[in-house]
Amino acid sequence: MAKNLAKNAGNDAIRELGWWRAHRFLILRRACQFAIMGLFMMGPTWGILTGNLSSSMLFNTIPLSDPLLVLQTLATGHWPEVNALIGVAIVIVFYALLAPRAFCAWVCPLNVVTDAAGWLRRKLNLKASFKWSPKIRYWLIPVILLGSAVSGSLLWAWVDPVASLHRGLVFGMGAGWILILLVFLLDLVLVEHGWCGHLCPLGATYGVIGRKSLIRIKATQREACTKCMDCYHVCPEPEVLRQPLKEGDRRVMSQDCISCGRCIDVCPEKVLEFSTSLARVKDD
């Protein structure tokens, strides 16, 4: 099969598998993201999920804390409250066991913005203006921690677009829309998958946390791959698909994978699926 154009990614899957099958993980992710945001919005009334993505309480009992925020707090020389330490431990254990960067695809509200920019870029056939190293996000973590230590403040909290979007949706955006618009434009015209794939230090933090997690995408039917490139076109981290689709271990073991499942959605040959990392699948 000839390589498909980026703007047509997923069309073959729709024809072969049906609209639902070609969008199921996208729809499930949006449902999860909007449900979590709705619970935050209704927090004062329902009491199921209160606070924000940086620090929250589930059922007014279980604390949940942002790992990067807790690291910044420690860098400033302040010891977090016990609830914050318990909350970050719960979050780390959960995402360490679940799937690589599952927070990014299934919880983070900014993912909706970056996905929209990626979709529009493909449809308009826009080419990225710049190439950045995906390692920038990992270097940003020590830079942020050093800056917090020197300034004595939670440096990233002032410019974090994820937290800004969440606060804006719950309490009103104000000038926060400018920051979100800049992220959208970055992904649309400057750098392909610029935010999630190159800059976001929170995503990098969850990548490190989930590098040994259980649920993985696996090329179980690798021999059926026609190299149509649809999975590459829709994947926010396309480099993670190269090894499992070629030779050796069929699992996507890279910590950069965001476990979104879009590569599964758009593949009409059903080459990929969610599996576990417990058993290594070798070539016949």
Instruction: Please say if the pLDDT value at position 76 is more than 80.
Output: yes
d(CA 71, CA 88): 10
Q: Is the pLDDT of residue 281 over 60?
A: no
127 and 239 together in one domain: no
CB 183 within 8 A of CB 113: yes
Percent of the chain with pLDDT over 70: 97
Q: Which of 208, 230, 247 is the last residue of a domain?
A: 208
Quote the CA–CA distance of 145 and 16 in Å, as a whole number. Answer: 49
Binned at pLDDT 50, 70 and 90, residue 170 comes out as: confident
Q: Are residues 265 and 131 in the same domain?
A: no
- Domain stops at, among 208, 236, 267: 208
Total domains in the fold of the chain: 2
Domain span including residue 74: 26-208
Is residue 284 assigned to a domain? no
Q: Is residue 252 part of a domain?
A: yes
Whether residue 158 sits in one domain with residue 178: yes
Model confidence, pTM:
0.92
* pLDDT greater than 80 at residue 280: no
4-60: per-residue pLDDT in tens? 899 999 999 999 999 999 999 999 999 999 999 999 999 888 989 999 999 999 999
Amino acid type, 143: V
* Same-domain pairing of 10 and 41: no
Task: Indicate whether 138 and 201 sit together in one domain.
Answer: yes
The reply to whether 144 and 249 lie within a common domain is no
Identify whether residues 58 and 144 lie together within a single domain.
Answer: yes
Encoded amino acid at 46, one letter: W
| Whether residue 179 sits in one domain with residue 103 | yes
For 187-194, what is the mean pLDDT? 95
* pLDDT value of position 128: 83
Domain identity same for 256 and 170: no
